[in-house]
């Protein structure tokens, strides 16, 4: 039985990845900054909390990282931790940089220190590319980050590449484009849209305030994307992969799809608020996942309209419980 250590197991991707690995017969362990205080609500929602052993670990503390890896003795480590909000990174640039870059570096150094055949996955981000324009970005597209979050993720990506080449570690980065699910935290714009639309559909007289809805994103389904993480570590050699659907949609299209699922006209309920625009914004973000298809036999199964409908369905079901 393989043992996997998921750093950041309480988040959307961590929970779905834990579910997938359990289905594949893994012994799954996870970390949180304070495992005693964290509620691990996503694991509970998926019905797997009692099947996962959790540990407290501060990724920016090398001693803490060493202690947990020594206890768990994992075959695979998945690094999904760190500050994950692009918008929040403008307000917390130092914390974002430290949590992403120092955390990644400590994990790589720990693997090198133990000199064990541990396979390592690092959560990269399409935000590193900046505007992709009309050409879908792939693994060879240069990075041009436009947020503190993207700068941190770009630095972590090159850390992984350096350790792979310098120390022969089995270390991979998945450059994941936007991916959502009902487990996406409420502060993210997609969940903000879904929640407000569902409340409006139930008779609440409120308006939904949004920033720039002309931005275009390549939206995928989170359970699809965590499968790519697993597949990267099963491949015969370590490499980096762009993970995307290959299709872009405007945020306005996502809004329309959500409201249409509820038989509502979004234009009757949405107000554009320029104070919500970011200091710098990516206009178009699109990925080319052909390498993942060719080498990992991975491809996205769901596109944006399916994702919008699934998130609405889950939100309505949650509202009925209260």
Q: Would you please indicate which residues are annotated as catalytic (active-site) residues?
A: 125, 127, 149
- Would you tell me how many other CB atoms lie within 10 Å of the CB of residue 187? 11
Strand 171-176 versus strand 27-32 pairing type: unpaired
- Would you tell me how many other CB atoms lie within 10 Å of the CB of residue 214? 12
Q: Are 214 and 252 in contact (CB under 8 A)?
A: yes
């Amino acid at each position: 039985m393989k043992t996997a250590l998921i750093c950041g197991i309480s988040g959307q991707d961590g929970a779905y990845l834990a579910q997938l690995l359990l289905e594949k017969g893994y012994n799954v362990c996870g970390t949180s900054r304070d495992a005693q205080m964290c509620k691990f609500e996503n694991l509970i929602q998926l019905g797997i909390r009692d099947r996962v052993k959790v540990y407290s670990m501060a990724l920016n503390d090398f001693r803490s990282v060493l202690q947990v890896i020594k206890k768990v003795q994992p075959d695979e480590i998945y690094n999904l931790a760190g500050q994950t909000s692009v918008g929040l990174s403008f307000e917390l640039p130092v914390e974002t940089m430290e949590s992403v870059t120092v955390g990644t570096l400590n994990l790589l150094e720990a693997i090198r220190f133990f000199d064990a055949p541990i396979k390592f996955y690092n959560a990269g981000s399409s935000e590193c590319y900046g505007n992709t324009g009309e050409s879908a970005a792939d693994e060879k597209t240069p990075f041009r980050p436009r947020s503190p979050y993207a700068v941190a993720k770009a630095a972590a990506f090159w850390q992984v590449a350096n350790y792979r080449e310098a120390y022969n570690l089995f270390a991979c980065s998945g450059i994941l484009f936007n991916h959502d699910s009902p487990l996406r935290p409420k502060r993210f714009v997609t969940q903000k849209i879904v929640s407000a639309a569902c409340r409006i559909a139930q008779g609440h007289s409120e308006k939904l305030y949004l920033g720039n809805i002309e931005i275009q994103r390549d939206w995928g389904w989170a359970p699809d994307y965590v499968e790519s993480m697993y597949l990267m570590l099963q491949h015969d050699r370590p490499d980096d992969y762009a993970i995307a659907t290959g299709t872009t949609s405007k945020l306005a299209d996502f809004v329309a799809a959500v409201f249409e699922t509820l038989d509502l006209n979004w234009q009757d309920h949405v107000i554009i608020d320029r104070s919500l625009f970011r200091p710098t914004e990516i206009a178009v973000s699109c990925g080319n996942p052909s390498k993942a298809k060719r080498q990992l036999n991975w491809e996205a199964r769901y596109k944006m309209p399916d994702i919008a409908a699934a998130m609405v369905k889950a939100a309505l079901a949650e509202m009925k419980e209260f």
